[in-house]
A and B are shown apart, each in its own frame.
Chain A
Amino acid sequence: MAAPETSPTPSSLRNAFGHVFSFFILILIGVLAFSIRLFSVIKYESVIHEFDPYFNYRVTQFLTKNGIYDFWNWFDDRTWYPLGRVIGGTVYPGLTLTAGTLWWLLNSLNIPLSVETVCVFTAPIFSAFASWATYLLTKEVKGAGAGLTAAALLAMVPSYISRSVAGSYDNEAVAIFALIFTFYLYIKTLNTGSLFYATLNSIAYFYMVCSWGGYTFIINLIPMHVLLCIVTGRYSSRLYIAYAPLVVLGTLLAALVPVVGFNAVMTSEHFASFLVFIIIHVVALVYYIKGILSPRMFKVAVMLVLSVGLVICCTVVAVLIALVASSPTKGWSGRSLSLLDPTYASKYIPIIASVSEHQPPTWPSYFMDLNILAFLVPAGIVACFLPLSDASSFVILYIVTSVYFSGVMVRLMLVLAPAACIMSGIALSGAFDVLTRSLKFQLPGTSEIFASDAVDTGSESVILNKDGAKEDKSEDSVKERPSKKSKKKEKEKEKEKEKEKEKEKENAGTLSSRSHAGTSSRRPLVLPVEASVIAIFLLVLLVAFYVVHCVWAAAEAYSAPSIVLTSQSPDGLHVFDDFREAYAWLSHNTDVDDKVASWWDYGYQTTAMANRTVIVDNNTWNNTHIATVGTAMSSPEKAAWEIFNSLDVKYVLVVFGGLVGYPSDDINKFLWMVRIGGGVFPHIKEPDYLRDGQYRIDSQATPTMLNCLMYKLSYYRFVETDGKGFDRVRRTEIGKKYFKLTHFEEVFTTHHWMVRIYKLKSPRNRIRGKTKKSKSKSSSTISSKSSRTRKKNPWN
């Protein structure tokens, strides 16, 4: 990298050309990252996807309408009725502020894009940024060639696409960029020892804290790496500069974010960083003292410090343990605990376990989300070990930890994806490097030039790659003329696997020579021409396969917005737009202050699309409240009516897929409602809803099941559609076909019956004292319930 100034003109020209070339490649990678995510807009429409993005969209709308100060103070009374939610203090504001700033900037330039458009395209834009950040990070680790490869891989890795297609307006969309960029700045500081980058690093960390709860990954991974460096004797002042400012500034900045606040110093997730902070200071002190003392004196000092230090450490640890033990969850949040102990959630918190993205992934999902990267990662890890630098050890640590986390929660596959891309980028680029070099070396004419800058790094290698690819074609014509060397080495033709190994060795050799920057005069190992041609061909094929898979994943698997469903039938595309039909109906034909009860999955969408107050939503902060709704859904009609009435609910919304075969409907989620409800209200017992441990809704179903509200609301008058009441999701005829609703009234059902809305009938006139008694009883239980929920601090 440092060569250009001193090297002769042709080389500097090549360098300049290389810079421009890699710049254009980077732009193209950005365009690729952006455009591959537009399948959802082209195939469907420019619309916000799924559940959480609707909430973020709503918050962004509020921000753009009312300004930043109102946003911080926003108490949202349209959700969690009657508790409400302090949005400003409980939301990670990074995404919202980013999109809001983007919108404001565009509008101040008189480009009147709607908030929705900006929100839809935020994720693709930040994917382009993320791939550039990957380039920077990998460049710091293994040079620009690996950087470009990694960036290209990240631009289209399916795992990341699944979270950042246009419309997927979720925290992860900006957080992955922030994550990679923070890592880059850390590595950059580590490599340069510049305080400037250290400060930038804290700011990047601050942005990450603003954006996503996953920032704890950073604040644990970096201390781990620092510790690793110290333990392996790699302590340097650069390490100190990279770490100490980050902890101090980063923690101070993190505490500014309302949702984090004092958690930045009070919860166990952050303790590792403080511990390492102390350790690094002790180590720094030791190195300093070692420098100023003679070896004999130093030994004495070590003894002294060790004895004193141990005492202090013990007291500190004791205080910490006491602090941690005093809090009920040992200072860990439920999600973090389920990370450390994968079985924790399923044992104690059904509400976390009930979310599909918190389940452990299956093996096929690794192949689906990472594809060939899964196989290239080991090669990348090997390449990182040869030689092991501070930066490459960090990347190794990153991949190892993220592999573990992705194994716990399928959602964290997203954190693994950049690491996998970096590793694969390093592996691929190394392989190409060796193969193209051995091609060049044996081609007459080019070898001389090549020998002069065999150890050149940076963008150079890209050109080599590209040149190699070009010469690949000319090679075929040249090959007719048999060169001596190639003939000789034809025997050495090996199988692909063996070659791979050799490649690694080769790779290692070149890399080590590269790290010795020009001082080495060792001739690199050279592979036979045919072997390299075939290897290059196979590698290109492999990458082509990856591209095809990524495009397929982006186009087919991950682009559905989930609020619009489509099915391909012989007579063309059929669109199921029932969700929006129902929300539009609610928003236009009910009173603006009406309360709508539904299972929490639909809370965000109802507030955002229908603009109606909901009882519970996807921000599952209050388990009791959700359990109340779960209990109502699992109770018989009258009891349910009383619960809903006490919550001031006017409409109940259920999602029903039985008519068209939409599998993720409320009947399939019903057991979770029972479980969560039963967790708080013990009179709801799961076995009551199961016949011999089996969940069924046909004639074998238990009477409790057939009489619960969810069953009735889902199947009310369903039998009249086909005369039998055949449920296409459960593939069976329903158990109870003809029944009437006494306390609820159907007010709307969408075209494909996917959403059904019922209205609570107004209470009958009281005739005698009879009904009065039961009513007052129920209301008193509810009030005691809500008072109980108030006591718990919800944002712990």
Chain B
Amino acid sequence: MLFNLNSAAMEASGRRPRLLLQICLIFSTLILTFFSPVVRSSSTLDLQILSAERRVDLSSHIIRVSLTLKVENVGTSPASEILLAFSPAQVDHLAWIKAGALVGKKRKKSSLPLDVKPSNILDGPNGTKYYSVFFTSQLGSGESVSLEVLYVLTHSLEPFPVEISQSESQLVYFRDSAVILSPYHIKSQETSFRTPTNKVESFSRVEPTDRSGTELKYGPYEERPSYSYSPVIIHFENNNPFAVVEELVREIEISHWGNLQITDHYKLAHAGARQKGGFSRVEYQSKQPFGGSASFKHLLAELPPRVHSVYYRDDIGNISSSRLRIGAKKSELLIEPRYPLFGGWKATFVIGYGVPVHDYLFESADGSRYLSYSFGCPLAETVVDKLTIKVVLPEGSEDPSAVIPFQVEQRLEKKHSYLDVVGRTVLVLEKKNVVPDHNSPFQVHYKFNPVFMLAEPLMLVLGFFLLFVASIAYLHMDIAIRKS
């Protein structure tokens, strides 16, 4: 895994001396031997979780889980990492994960970010998958540390009933475990689920279980051995927009003449319970809150400040229902698809805008340029199943490489735009299962000679010049065969 990562990075960074490659190879083999399963198994089993608290937020269709762990090293050798376990169903829907070490006393707690990587050790019992969290410094024997883990699950709410009519509200299932799945022994733990409304149809009981308002609390449970699991099902109402962008293609075109043009192509769908029967406009309009409670009619897109020339359209023309508010920190675009979206309905549209390039394009110390722009989807509270970012570099730029805080597929393409001769280099980044938490900046480095900026204007000048020369020549030439 690590080896693959390194080679991918190598490819992205272009042609480097071969020496570097060798060093890298050696380095990666060193890492591999260092973290070999033998070492790991001995270190992992020495850990114990003193207390664990898990809070699951079910208020939208993006499920945010925060996990607070207090870990103690009960073994003899120092430990460098801790494993987080996920059931196979969860790992498929895991969109984003972040971990931090809590330092400081009660009031002045702060979190130091830690590295999280999918672990390469073998799967645990029943196909359990692991993620490793690496400590900044090794955890010595008898020491303990507080960790905070945040992760996001998507597509984990299952609508039931699967089809609802227009006026019904949407009920969903959420399946999880009352106890935390972990390869370690947990001394004390508790889990709470927060539902969007008070309306909970049913929930499994694993005593002690307690429900108050929107809060559903499991635990505390004491002294659970490793890999314990007790499944629970919660059936509750969730009428939040299940807005899923099935595919988002974002094109970022850099022009050194001063504009950064962004074009987003959306394929939006309502991923909730499917619409049963017809859609009645009269019901939708007259009984507003209940006429279509599970549907949504507008979405909020957060655009950068100083945005200009915003357009919102689809294949058949402009969509006139949108509002733009430009602010100093951010601009907000409230878009309304052509029709309200009910379960299973789809819509496609394009949002495009320009921003001043000097806000996002910088020159690094070695003379190369880099673009720093936000990754992810600007629509609030939406899941993107497949995100493709195409960074169109200006014609004549070289050595593109991307720096992204998470793992992303990369490849290069060529694109011919206005009056291009050799074509522009396009760096394509692809990522599946993207949530708003991915909206952190990424960088694309490349080399560019400003002379290329003049290529196209000069070409035009030359073209017109030749045209005039040709017309002068034509007017002064006599090409008649016979003199009249």
Q: With an 8 A cutoff between CB atoms, is B474 at the interface?
A: no
A746 neighbours in B (Cβ, 8 Å): 278-280
**CB–CB A584/B416 < 8 A:** no
Most B CB within 10 A of own CB, among A47, A111, A580, A588: A588
Q: Spot the interface stretch: A205-213, A500-508, A748-756.
A: A748-756
- Report the minimal beta-carbon distance from A119 to chain B, rounded to whole angstroms: 13
> Once the chains are docked, how many angstroms separate the CA of A553 from the CA of B320?
25
**CB–CB B348/A588 < 8 A:** yes
> Once the chains are docked, how many angstroms separate the CA of A720 from the CA of B280?
11
> Once the chains are docked, how many angstroms separate the CA of A111 from the CA of B463?
15
**CB–CB B347/A584 < 8 A:** yes
A290 neighbours in B (Cβ, 8 Å): none
0/1 interface trace, chain B 267-285, chain A, CB 8 Å (1 if under): 0000000000111111001
B280 neighbours in A (Cβ, 8 Å): 717, 746, 749
B281 neighbours in A (Cβ, 8 Å): 748-751, 753
Known: A109-B419, A584-B314, A759-B278. A589 touches B345 (CB 8 A): yes
> Once the chains are docked, how many angstroms separate the CA of A749 from the CA of B166?
13
0/1 interface trace, chain A 564-583, chain B, CB 8 Å (1 if under): 10000000000101001101
> Once the chains are docked, how many angstroms separate the CA of A509 from the CA of B470?
43
B319 neighbours in A (Cβ, 8 Å): 577
**CB–CB A110/B317 < 8 A:** no
**Which label, helix, strand, loop or mixed, suits the secondary structure of the A interface?**
mixed
> Once the chains are docked, how many angstroms separate the CA of A584 from the CA of B314?
9
Residue from A47, A564, A588 within 8 A of B346 (CB atoms): A588
Q: Which residue of chain A has its CB nearest to the CB of B316? A: A609
Q: Which residue of chain A has its CB nearest to the CB of B420? A: A110
B348 neighbours in A (Cβ, 8 Å): 588
> Once the chains are docked, how many angstroms separate the CA of A753 from the CA of B277?
19
**CB–CB A585/B338 < 8 A:** yes
**CB–CB A112/B418 < 8 A:** yes
Interface residues of A in 742-772 (CB under 8 A from B): 745-751, 753, 759
Known: A45-B317, A109-B419, A111-B419. A584 touches B338 (CB 8 A): yes
**CB–CB B282/A717 < 8 A:** yes
Q: Which residue of chain A has its CB nearest to the CB of B348? A: A588
Most A CB within 10 A of own CB, among B315, B319, B338, B421: B338
> Once the chains are docked, how many angstroms separate the CA of A109 from the CA of B416?
10
Interface size on A, residues (CB 8 A): 31
**CB–CB A581/B338 < 8 A:** yes
0/1 interface trace, chain A 84-113, chain B, CB 8 Å (1 if under): 000000000000000000000000011110
Interface residues of B in 296-342 (CB under 8 A from A): 313-321, 338-339
Interface residues of A in 717-754 (CB under 8 A from B): 717, 720-721, 745-751, 753
Number of A-B contacts (CB under 8 A): 78
**CB–CB A585/B339 < 8 A:** yes
> Once the chains are docked, how many angstroms separate the CA of A676 from the CA of B314?
36
A748 neighbours in B (Cβ, 8 Å): 278-279, 281, 339
Interface residues of B in 335-367 (CB under 8 A from A): 338-339, 344-348
> Once the chains are docked, how many angstroms separate the CA of A417 from the CA of B9?
68
Residue from A112, A585, A753 within 8 A of B417 (CB atoms): A112
Interface residues of A in 187-231 (CB under 8 A from B): none
> Once the chains are docked, how many angstroms separate the CA of A656 from the CA of B286?
19
A111 neighbours in B (Cβ, 8 Å): 418-419
Q: Which residue of chain A has its CB nearest to the CB of B317? A: A47
B417 neighbours in A (Cβ, 8 Å): 110, 112
- Report the minimal beta-carbon distance from A401 to chain B, rounded to whole angstroms: 38
0/1 interface trace, chain A 536-576, chain B, CB 8 Å (1 if under): 00000000000000000000000000011000000000010
- Report the minimal beta-carbon distance from A133 to chain B, rounded to whole angstroms: 20
- Report the minimal beta-carbon distance from A660 to chain B, rounded to whole angstroms: 13
- Report the minimal beta-carbon distance from B133 to chain A, rounded to whole angstroms: 43
> Once the chains are docked, how many angstroms separate the CA of A745 from the CA of B279?
9
Q: Which residue of chain A has its CB nearest to the CB of B416? A: A110
0/1 interface trace, chain A 274-317, chain B, CB 8 Å (1 if under): 00000000000000000000000000000000000000000000
0/1 interface trace, chain A 693-721, chain B, CB 8 Å (1 if under): 00000000000000000000000010011
Could you list which residues of chain B lie within 8 angstroms of chain A, going by C-beta atoms? 277-282, 285-286, 313-321, 338-339, 344-348, 416-421
Could you list which residues of chain A lie within 8 angstroms of chain B, going by C-beta atoms? 45, 47, 109-112, 563-564, 575, 577, 580-581, 583-585, 587-589, 609, 717, 720-721, 745-751, 753, 759
Given contacts A112-B416, A748-B339, 8 further A-B contacts (CB under 8 A): A45-B313, A47-B317, A111-B419, A577-B338, A584-B347, A585-B339, A720-B286, A747-B278
| 26 residue pairs bridging A and B, Cβ less than 8 Å apart | A45-B318, A47-B317, A110-B417, A110-B421, A112-B416, A112-B417, A564-B317, A575-B320, A577-B319, A577-B320, A580-B316, A580-B317, A580-B338, A584-B314, A585-B339, A587-B315, A589-B345, A717-B282, A720-B282, A745-B277, A748-B339, A749-B280, A750-B281, A750-B339, A751-B339, A759-B278
